[in-house]
Amino acid sequence: MRAVIKLLKFNIYLKNQIDKILKSKSRGDVPGWVLVVLMTTALVTGIWSIAAPKLTTILRNSLDAMGGIR
């Protein structure tokens, strides 16, 4: 859950940075990289929200198995 909140905060930060750049006079290739950033953020958020419970279970099982080695 914390990771999702961090991703959302990062998404808001990126949006603010994009807004600043869009308001400046030197825009460059803004539509291209903005699209890449937004698509990447959406993909990471979507994949993470789906995979987080399973990854947590895998990590917890691995750590529990390592605890028996001592």
Predicted confidence at residue 66, as pLDDT, reads 87
pLDDT band for position 46 (cuts 50, 70, 90): very high
Least confident piece of the model among 9-13, 52-56, 59-63: 9-13
Task: Please determine, for residue 47, whether its predicted confidence score (pLDDT) is greater than 80.
Answer: yes
Is residue 49 within 8 Å of residue 4, measured between CB atoms?
yes
**Residue ranges of domains in the chain:** 2-67
Q: How far is CA 35 from CA 42, 57, 60, in A?
A: 10, 33, 36
